[in-house]
Amino acid sequence: MSATFITATGTDIGKTFVAAGLIRHFREVGRPVDALKPVATGFDADQAAASDPGLLLTALGRPITPLAIERIAPWRFSAPVSPDLAARLENRTVHYDPLVAFSRKAIESAVGTLLIEGIGGVMVPLDDTHTVLHWIAALNIPVVLVTGSYLGSLSHALTSLDALRRRDIAIKALVVNETPGSTVPIADTIATLRHFAEAIPVLGLPRLPSGSAQHLTFVDIAALL
């Protein structure tokens, strides 16, 4: 059994895209895989198939039912904002200790590879005192960090790397998911990040219509997990 936390430098960067791509690759090669998205905001039950939990279930080849959604994403909120604010808007709370316990239980009982997709970026608040970084550190499992290639992504990626390193969290890979319409070539972003990433592999996910490059990158990422 192995478990990996998929996190990012911010929201809408491509965590679910990376997680779903890895799931599909593992299934293609016959490697047992499961995935969780324990905390989800901006969730609309009427559009469950298009949600992050729904996309993970589709990649896993499982039906998108209320029970299946509840199993992989028990903390769901309607507002598309940070978890602490989304919960507050519903007079609820993301209870940190149960979230960690839920994740640990899934890790302990997993067969094959378990991917746990976080929410937003590394420092997104879960409640008034905990961030996603606290959650990752409590689980003590390695991460794949996803960033974009937009202008400003270098600072966001290096800040996230520094935060993870200060907690002694193992970083399996830094994945640069190409930002549509970016003024910065993805190759330049990758080259710069490699100067600062030290021994951490930096892999690019260019957006090509054929999808062939993406598939090759998922093979490379999977080999590191």
- pLDDT tens track for 52-61: 999 999 999 9
Point out the residues that are catalytic: 37
Residue 213's pLDDT band (cuts 50, 70, 90):
low
Exposed / middle / buried, residue 140 (Cβ in 10 Å: 0-12, 13-18, 19+):
middle
Q: Domain limits of the chain? A: 2-224
The per-residue pLDDT for 57 is 98
Who wins on pLDDT, 95 or 210? 95
Give the residue carrying structure tokens 């895989």: 33
Whole-number average pLDDT of the chain: 94
Residue 210's pLDDT band (cuts 50, 70, 90):
low
Q: Which CATH code, of 3.40.50.1390, 1.10.540.10, 3.40.50.300, 3.30.450.40, is assigned to 2-224?
A: 3.40.50.300
Q: Are 136 and 7 spatial neighbours (Cβ–Cβ below 8 Å)?
A: yes
pLDDT above 80 for 24: yes
